[in-house]
Amino acid sequence: MQPTISFLTAGGTSMDLRKFLHDAMEKGEQIRTKVVGELVNSRFVNQILKNEKFLNGVVTILNAKTGVEKSLQGKLNHVLKMFEVPTRDEVKAMERKIHKLENEIESLQRFVLSQKLKSKSSGKSLRSHAKR
């Protein structure tokens, strides 16, 4: 069970903070639902959404926003190329290459270790034959 966090109200009474916040959130949701409902049912909003000029303006703004984003992305890509900053695809390709090289190094290390073990064991057998 969580401890109760209390505070004193302006009237001097104690109140549970969690309950207060829960009640405030609930009241806020009720107000939001009411306002959204009034907006959706508003005659003005319905008229403006039926206005072709307004809708064309919204479409124009959205298209302009998309155009600006594409333009900025293109300019950013150009600047990054000038500074030789690799693209995501290039970084991913380098990561794949690094992983492949790491695997090859591990394989070579295992091979070298196995060769060392073989040479040690054959060296021991040669020494044991020499002692006889």
Give tens-digit pLDDT for 75-92: 999 999 999 999 899 999
Please state the rounded mean pLDDT for residues 38-54.
88
Residues 6+ apart with CB under 8 A from 8: 14, 15
Buried b (16+ CB within 10 A) or exposed e, 86-109: eeeeeeeeeeeeeeeeeeeeeeee
pTM of the model as a whole: 0.41
3-class SS of residue 119: helix
What pLDDT score does 3 carry?
A: 64
pLDDT score, position 119: 87
Which of the two residues, 114 and 121, has the higher pLDDT score?
A: 114
Does residue 56 have a pLDDT over 80? yes
Do β-strands 6-8 and 14-16 pair in parallel, antiparallel, or remain unpaired?
antiparallel
**What's the 3-state SS for 25-70?**
HHHHHHHHHHHHHHHHHCHHHHHHHHCHHHHHHHHHHHHHHHHHHH
Q: Which amino acid is at 37?
A: G
Is the distance from CB of 86 to CB of 94 less than 8 angstroms? yes
Instruction: Provide the pLDDT confidence category of residue 44 given band limits of 50, 70 and 90.
Output: confident
51: its two tokens: 């206005």
Which residue type occupies 98? I
Helix (H, G, I), strand (E, B) or coil at 11: coil
Residue in this structure with the two tokens 């073989």, named with its chain if needed:
118
> Does 43 score more than 70 pLDDT?
yes
* Per-residue pLDDT, 14: 76
Whether the pLDDT of residue 123 is over 90: the answer is no
Query: For residue 11, what pLDDT band results from cuts at 50, 70 and 90?
Result: confident
